[in-house]
Structure 1
């Protein structure tokens, strides 16, 4: 008999999470936003409308490379935009429903589809280079590096292809739990290693040349009596910083792992599905109650915790200068102090939820909401002259 994996749609799981996990219906309503005395002036540089996601659990955040913003629409169109102006440089219809990407490097752009295909384009011209079948739908961002394109698939596989030709190089296949969140952690290429998180709370390092397991780290282990209580997934993307991989697990821990050996350097019992951002000094994570934590990157100690946006379905935090930015369910983008977490400014960019971690390029913040609007923001000190 074939065992089928059940993918849990995360928004439904979170909205009904308390009743599912405890047997009672005590879901918290989103916190009301209190009046804020702004410490920053937020400028909107430009915005452009694209196709929205209609609430589907896809992984199509905007990406940046060499002055160009790249965007993929669920129906199949891929765009390259001038990062300063938003002007279209090229577009291509892949004629396939896209679900993961774009990934960028080495002059290539890679996207994955709901129909189990990996598609690779020339990032400068949009010309199709190749497309290949993979094991199942792609719900993560493909990685490019070392002459390979690597993608995660929903059936637990990691596949590598030659970047120039699309010829298969290797396949790593891993069984997945019966219950799992809908979505996958995106693979990360660092030198000769591919690092990716998996359902079941495992972070694994694979050799880039052959797909062999270099190490396997247990970030979290399943707990509880029911299958739902035992869902422990690394669904968000790990962050690689100076030889350390920082990773967060849903219904599990946040941990720091040695990139070279897979040794867990420290872990904290903080559950997160949204994800994190990190530097060599600090780690910032949004937990499952939509509280934002600042942790010491060297030992995991708490530096501060911000609870004022409880249950507002926050994105992962993104660092920009001395600030953090997060988006929320009502289309607000919030600026916080990295030093102590206090709220410094906010702006409403639309009425649709912001689900993807804001993309930070230098001092600019690119935000894509569920309605498909891409907005570019810049923060100015209040005493600065208007541009």
Structure 2
């Protein structure tokens, strides 16, 4: 029913949290917009709650069938039943987590603050391997391998069962990186990774580059102005992959041919979501913008949630769900951006982009609350 209704070994500096960048220089942060009345034209009810530890890293909630993989900063990794919220298993990797979770439904993987990739299965650690740089992007677990995108823009592949390093690929980049998730996904038999302002298509067997497609080109006179790293999540529909370049642009690429379909200027630091019709993202000032997937032209802009610390949205069915810094989840119409309803969580900021498993919408907060909702 929801489907219908709703950057390193030699890094000079790491920038944390994109939302503060527009306010460099000591300027006061603008006051958050007052919330409009809740129209409640879409019925949603709480389904279940669970709890992990506090989340202080760029969490990716992984959905594999009816399983949800989540993690907390203290090293806890948990796989939950999406229907009931109950633990299928829960384990500790023994160190604070910097990035995660990636999973294929059998093997889960995270990266610790000590730069170790840790793979688990059934609540037990399978292996752990050191990488030479920090990582903020959840590992990709696919094809019996674990792929890691490090903050120095290198990509490393490990055997999923043994942790044996299979290959690594490094690319030069700008000296600054973002302390937030980048882009790493599989499209058919191609591994697609964000490297600077480019999407790169890699051969997953050996790491060789098949194609590169620029979403943004570094400009400006200083390192901050030249920072255009791609940020997760992305919107993929078939071979079409749409992504955001930090504070620069949004664009779509044909991942089969490695060609850019379109790019448009955009001033945001969070990933995008979308479907076959729309690509939707949040700007740094809190505007929510929808671009038409075929052309990149703007379809609509929602400006009633300015400066409320919006995260990455989720397009699901005819709705768009997006969390804010007060733990509220706002649900808009995909077609015109009008507000449909608003629900509460635990009052702490939403820590990850919402996900859907089956008919259940799941949101995780910084306080570690895992909140599930279903339509009425």
Taking structure 1 as the reference length, the TM-score comes to 0.90
> Which residue in 2 is equivalent to 1:385?
none
> Which residue in 2 is equivalent to 1:383?
none
TM-aligned CA deviation for residue 146 of structure 1: 2.3
> Which residue in 2 is equivalent to 1:335?
331
TM-aligned CA deviation for residue 151 of structure 1: 0.6
For 1:5 and 1:172, locate their aligned partners in 2 and report how far apart those are by CA, in whole Å.
20
> Which residue in 2 is equivalent to 1:71?
70
Query: For each residue in 1:340-375, what CA deviation from the matched residue of structure 2 results, as whole angstroms up to 9, or x when unmatched?
Result: 100011012121111311011233210001111110
Q: Which residue of the other structure, out of 190, 195, 199, is the alignment partner of 1:193?
A: 190
TM-aligned CA deviation for residue 191 of structure 1: 2.4
For 2:146 and 2:354, locate their aligned partners in 1 and report how far apart those are by CA, in whole Å.
24
> Which residue in 1 is equivalent to 2:139?
142
For 2:143 and 2:51, locate their aligned partners in 1 and report how far apart those are by CA, in whole Å.
34
Count of aligned positions: 368
C-alpha contact (below 8 Å) 2:60/2:102 kept by paired residues? no
TM-aligned CA deviation for residue 173 of structure 1: 1.0
TM-aligned CA deviation for residue 3 of structure 1: 5.3
| 3-state SS of paired residue (1:340) | coil
Query: For each residue in 1:248-302, what CA deviation from the matched residue of structure 2 results, as whole angstroms up to 9, or x when unmatched?
Result: 1112111111102221111111122111112122111112222111111111111
Unmatched 5+ stretches in structure 1: 381-387
For 1:210 and 1:3, locate their aligned partners in 2 and report how far apart those are by CA, in whole Å.
24
Q: 1:30-49 residue pairs with structure 2 within 5 A? A: 30-49=32-51
Q: 1:85-124 residue pairs with structure 2 within 5 A? A: 85-105=84-104, 107-122=106-121
Q: Which residue of the other structure, out of 249, 252, 264, is the alignment partner of 2:248?
A: 252
Query: For each residue in 1:181-207, what CA deviation from the matched residue of structure 2 results, as whole angstroms up to 9, or x when unmatched?
Result: 2124141122221111133x1211111
**Residues 81-90 or 254-263, more deviating:** 81-90
Query: For each residue in 1:218-255, what CA deviation from the matched residue of structure 2 results, as whole angstroms up to 9, or x when unmatched?
Result: 21122323332222121223332211111111121111
C-alpha contact (below 8 Å) 2:266/2:283 kept by paired residues? yes
TM-aligned CA deviation for residue 19 of structure 1: 4.1
TM-aligned CA deviation for residue 180 of structure 1: 2.4
**Residues 230-239 or 255-264, more deviating:** 230-239
C-alpha contact (below 8 Å) 2:62/2:68 kept by paired residues? yes
Q: Which residue of the other structure, out of 239, 242, 247, is the alignment partner of 2:238?
A: 242
2:310 aligned with 1:303: no
> Which residue in 1 is equivalent to 2:285?
289
Q: Which residue of the other structure, out of 115, 130, 135, is the alignment partner of 2:127?
A: 130
For 1:236 and 1:142, locate their aligned partners in 2 and report how far apart those are by CA, in whole Å.
12
| 3-state SS of paired residue (1:235) | strand
2:344 aligned with 1:344: no
2:17 aligned with 1:10: yes
| 3-state SS of paired residue (1:174) | coil
> Which residue in 2 is equivalent to 1:157?
154
For 2:27 and 2:77, locate their aligned partners in 1 and report how far apart those are by CA, in whole Å.
42
For 1:189 and 1:248, locate their aligned partners in 2 and report how far apart those are by CA, in whole Å.
17
C-alpha contact (below 8 Å) 2:67/2:105 kept by paired residues? no
Relative to structure 1, is the Cα distance of residues 92 and 204 closer, same or farther in structure 2, using a 3 angstrom cutoff? same
> Which residue in 1 is equivalent to 2:5?
none
**Residues 351-360 or 174-183, more deviating:** 174-183
C-alpha contact (below 8 Å) 1:194/1:205 kept by paired residues? yes
TM-aligned CA deviation for residue 26 of structure 1: 5.8
> Which residue in 2 is equivalent to 1:384?
none
| 3-state SS of paired residue (2:43) | strand
For 1:29 and 1:169, locate their aligned partners in 2 and report how far apart those are by CA, in whole Å.
50
For 1:3 and 1:117, locate their aligned partners in 2 and report how far apart those are by CA, in whole Å.
17
Relative to structure 1, is the Cα distance of residues 246 and 102 closer, same or farther in structure 2, using a 3 angstrom cutoff? same
Query: For each residue in 1:322-353, what CA deviation from the matched residue of structure 2 results, as whole angstroms up to 9, or x when unmatched?
Result: 21110001110011011110001101212111
> Which residue in 1 is equivalent to 2:168?
171
C-alpha contact (below 8 Å) 1:154/1:184 kept by paired residues? no
For 1:4 and 1:50, locate their aligned partners in 2 and report how far apart those are by CA, in whole Å.
31
Taking structure 2 as the reference length, the TM-score comes to 0.92
TM-aligned CA deviation for residue 164 of structure 1: 2.5
C-alpha contact (below 8 Å) 2:328/2:344 kept by paired residues? yes
